[in-house]
Amino acid sequence: MTGLEITSHKTLMLFSGRGFPELAEEVAEHLGCQPSPVTLYDFANGETYCRFEESVRGCDAFLVQSHTVPINTWVMEQLIMCDALKRASAKRITVVAPFYPYSRQDKKTLAREPISAKLMADLFRAAGANRIIAIDLHTPQIQGYLDAPLDHLTALPLLSDHIAARGDVDNVTIVSPDAGRVRVAEKYTDRLGTPLAIIHKRRDPRVANDAKVFNVVGQVEGRCCVLVDDMIDTGGTIVKAADALFDQGAAEVLVAATHGIFSGPAVDRLKNSRISEVIVTNTLPVTPDKQFDKLTVLSVAPMLANAIRAVFDDSTVSGLFDGTN
């Protein structure tokens, strides 16, 4: 048995999708177990086949999947795995989705648009998920989309501790790249004891991944500015934000984000920018073609393992929400 048996009546079993199995293996190592075996493959027409190789009856199942590209494939795979666990009589199914899929589509901006983040919650619930564990949702209200517990973890302590370890925190200014990230940026300033600056920009809702940076509100001249965000996708917004900071006299600009998506031109934009360091976590795999000299990748595996252990033991997870543990 590859699961971790605590008593004769309660067994933790960890399963991994194919999106980023290395993360699941690292989580399992921290838990002191191994991912349980599962057969996954694609039929000729692209449909996914799933079969668990061990009995899962009565187990506490944790299903880890990284929703990287191709995201729709890995979402569907995780849904199919949930369904298989439900039909095989797993006692409880927890979806571990460090990067919650479709999180940016959390509301209707224009008429006749979907709210895809809510659809994801409905699909996971219908497939059999009793709980979701996610890290740094794009917007906190997504927690209310699921008619079941959603443990919203944060990588803020991991990222902020790395910033503090660089030294000279007295010369650091935390910068929110837009008004929507101000509350997150304030949490960094509370933890590090640094001032806050805000970049004012206007985003055109009709153009995906397009943003125009305008002015900087706050004191950044001569300071090390740290832009904080939940994700970096194409890198356009964050590079323009960095340029705005340099135009206002910033001495150095760092970027800290939980999810490194790095789509399209992101890597070229970041490595050719004046940004000194880009700090992300491994909620998504950073493949060799997405790696560059300025990039630092921190592991969320210990945090996920702590959350899984707490859920399994029915103990508190609240300290992982705000980084107090």
Q: How confident is the model at residue 8 (pLDDT cuts 50, 70, 90)?
A: very low
Please give the model's pTM, rounded to 2 decimal places.
Answer: 0.91
Which segments of 49-113 does DSSP mark as H helices, in order?
71-87
- The CATH 3.40.50.2020 portion of the chain extends over 4-155+301-322, 156-298
pLDDT at residue 106 greater than cutoff 90: yes
Burial 34-66 (b: 16+ CB within 10 A, else e): ebbebebeeeeeeebebebeeebeebbbbbbbb
pLDDT in tens, 271-292: 999 999 999 999 999 999 999 9
Domain 156-298 coded CATH 3.40.50.1360: no
CA pair distance 35, 159, nearest whole angstrom: 27
Q: What is the mean pLDDT of residues 123-145?
A: 95
Sign (positive or negative) of CA dihedral 50, 120, 202, 175 = negative
CA pair distance 254, 252, nearest whole angstrom: 7
Instruction: State the DSSP code for 165.
Output: H
The CATH architecture to which 4-155+301-322 belongs is 3-Layer(aba) Sandwich (3.40)
Q: How far is residue 255 from each of residues 181, 266, 271, measured CA to CA in Å?
A: 14, 13, 12
Chain centroid offset of residue 294 CA: 20
pLDDT at residue 210 greater than cutoff 90: no
| Amino acid sitting at position 168 | D
Residue 254 Ramachandran class (φ > 0 left, ψ -120 to 50 alpha, else beta) = beta
CA pair distance 149, 98, nearest whole angstrom: 15
Please report how many Cα atoms fall inside a 13 Å half-sphere around the Cα of residue 198, on the Cβ side. 13
Burial class (CB in 10 A: 0-12, 13-18, 19+), 69: middle
pLDDT in tens, 295-325: 999 999 999 999 999 999 988 877 665 555 4
CA-closest candidate to residue 254, choices 170, 166, 154, 139: 166
CA pair distance 172, 53, nearest whole angstrom: 52
Catalytic residues: 201
Cis peptide before 288 (omega within 30 of 0): no
| Amino acid sitting at position 57 | R
pLDDT in tens, 211-265: 564 689 999 999 999 999 999 999 998 999 999 999 999 999 999 999 999 999 9
Structure confidence at residue 321 (pLDDT): 59
